[in-house]
Structure 1
Amino acid sequence: MANEIRDFLARIPNPFQLEHLEDTEALVQFNVEGEGGGKWVADVHDNICEIREGTVEDPDLDIKGKIEDVNKLLAGELDPMKAYMTGKVKVIGNLMLGLKLLKAIKLA
């Protein structure tokens, strides 16, 4: 389970086309805690999203969670709103942007 995020990110095209985030420019920081976790940045611009390991100062959206919960989100086993409301995933910034980006990543 620990490498599911890395495996998932390796399977999606990078960069990938975004159909429902037109005219959106954002830097999204993902901080995944636990064994196999890490830090990633999603750079959304010009109808594409590029994902890379690392951090960015002052992101438009900062998403934090434990690896188990993030894996469940990506697998569709955990409802994003429920994860947010119960504190399993912490979001600082535009929550709607986060939901749209999660949907785009899952469709890629």
Structure 2
Amino acid sequence: MEPPPGLTCRDAIRGMPLAFNAHAAAGLRAVIQFRITGAEPGDYYLRIAGGECFFHEGVFDKPDVSIHARSEVWLAIAHGELDGTLAYLTGRYRVEGNVWLLIRLKSLFSATGKA
């Protein structure tokens, strides 16, 4: 599926709750911080609690995991043009905090819950 033209990195992160899989997140309470640099810099976070996911702009005081990426890299991952695991392993972005949440992203944000 081709991403909509003009989709920004902010749009991609803001849209993640639409693909949220509450079943895969059963019992999870977490904050995922995105620190985006590059052509579209911004700070955003997703708060997961009670089987729901909410998008916020800004910096959360103590997130469970922080993802530091250039907007071009995160958009490529969001569009399926770049494998997120490979991008992480090759240093295309870095993570601070609970790496287990990073590993769970695919199942947490997929309509079917299959990673």
Q: TM-score, normalised to structure 2's length?
A: 0.77
In the TM superposition, residue 40 of structure 1 has moved relative to its aligned partner by: 0.4
Match of 1:87 in 2: 91
Match of 1:68 in 2: 72
Distance 2:74 2:24 in 1: 22
Q: Assess if the C-alpha contact under 8 Å between 2:34 and 2:66 holds in 1.
A: yes
**Counterparts in 2 of 1:7-46, with a 5 A limit?**
7-9=11-13, 11=15, 18-46=22-50
> Is residue 49 from structure 1 mapped to residue 53 from structure 2 by the alignment?
yes
After superposition, what is the alpha-carbon deviation per residue over 1:36-77, rounded to whole angstroms, capped at 9, x for unaligned?
231101101011110111101121101001011000111112
Q: Secondary structure at the match of 2:95?
A: strand
Which aligned runs of 4 or more in structure 1 are off by greater than 6 angstroms?
none
Q: Assess if the C-alpha contact under 8 Å between 2:38 and 2:70 holds in 1.
A: yes
Structure 1 vs Structure 2: percent identity of aligned residues? 27
In the TM superposition, residue 10 of structure 1 has moved relative to its aligned partner by: 5.0
Give aligned pairs, total: 107
Return 5+ residue gaps in structure 2 as ranges.
Answer: none
Distance 1:11 1:29 in 2: 15
Q: TM-score, normalised to structure 1's length?
A: 0.81
Output the amino acid matched with 1:77: E
